[in-house]
């Protein structure tokens, strides 16, 4: 891994190094200046030392990528991905104020980051509310010509369709969804508009953070439970705080694992707030049916 280590760091007074340490931690990022909503995630460690390092979820990649080139100079964080995607930021009152540009392009995209909240919800303190059938969806990018259609109770995308976003927002919940994909296809379900449960044709592949049912880029399933393309498959997903369990085709593939931050599907960076359900439509052909959310509520269940 190649890093940009500014030699100036070795000679800055301790007060300046302490200031640089304010970059350390996990950051949820809102991206401005774009028609399509999206959110990024950043983790910085070792700021204020020559051992600074980072991880990033955002353009141009889609997973949790180590940052190969990173440094701080005169209070400004700079990191570069793929030698040409350039990000800069400063810390102001516990917030990041930043911009992004491609090398050689004068246009810049403005972004802002807040510290990722610590979420503590005890799964034992919640009970099931009334199930909600999700039937009202909006396209994330209304300008796309490719659309979704309703066929015999199924919602079906055409190639390159926009992602769909639910009208309703949810905090803790159980999600049931049935889907069908073709050979080699790829889709996903976004939980609270932040955490993607991957959908993939991968029967013969070993488990990884990109597998069917994975929390994309973050949590791998313990087994591959995928069915052959063209068959209906079923997800039953529980999300309490940032702890997730995933059942795929009646097999428990993720059991109460903590999601450390946003994934590439993210459109809503506010991790301590309710968020929508997202159906990914721009990666490959997919059909969904019986998409249903059961909210998990505090207090005792009514008898």
First-residue to last-residue Cα distance in the chain = 58
Where residue 282 falls among pLDDT bands split at 50, 70, 90? confident
Yes or no: say if 28 and 270 are a contact pair by the CB < 8 Å rule: yes
pTM (2 d.p.): 0.90
Tokens (6 digits) for 107: 């246009």
Q: Where are the domains of the chain?
A: 7-115, 123-298
Report, as an integer, the average pLDDT of 283-288.
91
Environment class of 33 (CB within 10 Å of its CB; exposed 0-12, middle 13-18, buried 19+): exposed
Segment 106-134, tens digit of pLDDT: 899 999 999 999 998 776 778 899 999 99
Report, as an integer, the average pLDDT of 68-95.
95
CA distances from 9 to 4, 16, 185 (A): 11, 9, 47
CA distances from 76 to 10, 72, 106, 191, 219 (A): 16, 5, 19, 33, 32
Whole-angstrom distance, CA of residue 28 vs CA of residue 80: 18
Least confident of 18-22, 177-181, 273-277: 18-22
Whole-angstrom distance, CA of residue 257 vs CA of residue 286: 27
Do the domains spanning 7-115 and 123-298 agree at the CATH topology level?
no
Whole-angstrom distance, CA of residue 148 vs CA of residue 288: 11
CATH fold of the domain at 123-298: Jelly Rolls (2.60.120)
Where residue 284 falls among pLDDT bands split at 50, 70, 90? confident
* Model confidence at 247: pLDDT above 90: yes
Whole-angstrom distance, CA of residue 12 vs CA of residue 117: 31
Place of tokens 């304010």: 22
Yes or no: say if 277 and 170 are a contact pair by the CB < 8 Å rule: yes
CATH fold of the domain at 7-115: Lipocalin (2.40.128)
CA distances from 260 to 42, 53, 55, 69, 130 (A): 11, 17, 12, 22, 29
């Amino acid at each position: 891994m190649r890093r940009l280590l500014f030699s100036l760091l070795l000679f800055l007074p301790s007060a300046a190094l302490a200031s640089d340490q304010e970059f350390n931690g996990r950051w949820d990022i809102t991206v401005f200046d774009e028609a399509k909503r999206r959110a990024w995630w950043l983790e910085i460690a070792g700021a204020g030392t020559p051992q600074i390092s980072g991880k990033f979820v955002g353009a141009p990649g889609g997973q949790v990528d180590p940052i190969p080139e990173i440094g701080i100079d005169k209070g400004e964080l700079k990191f570069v991905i793929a030698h040409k995607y350039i990000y800069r930021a400063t810390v102001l009152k516990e917030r990041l104020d930043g911009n992004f540009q491609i090398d050689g392009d004068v246009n810049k995209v403005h972004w802002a980051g807040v510290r990722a909240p610590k979420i503590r919800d005890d799964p034992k303190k919640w009970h099931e509310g009334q199930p909600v059938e999700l039937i009202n969806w909006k396209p994330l990018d209304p300008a796309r010509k490719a659309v979704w259609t309703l066929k015999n109770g199924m919602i079906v995308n055409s190639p390159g369709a926009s992602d769909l976003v639910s009208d309703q927002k949810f905090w803790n919940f159980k999600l049931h969804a049935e889907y069908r994909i073709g050979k080699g296809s790829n889709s996903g379900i976004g939980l609270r508009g932040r955490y993607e449960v991957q959908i993939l044709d991968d029967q013969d592949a070993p488990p990884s953070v990109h597998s069917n049912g994975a929390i994309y880029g973050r949590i791998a399933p313990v087994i591959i439970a995928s069915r052959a393309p063209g068959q209906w498959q079923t997800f039953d997903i529980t999300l309490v705080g940032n702890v997730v369990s995933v059942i795929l085709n009646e097999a428990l593939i993720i059991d109460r694992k903590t999601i450390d931050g946003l994934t590439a599907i993210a459109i809503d960076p506010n991790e301590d707030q309710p968020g929508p359900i997202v159906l990914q439509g721009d990666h490959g052909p997919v059909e969904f049916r019986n998409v249903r959310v059961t909210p998990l509520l505090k207090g005792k269940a009514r008898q």
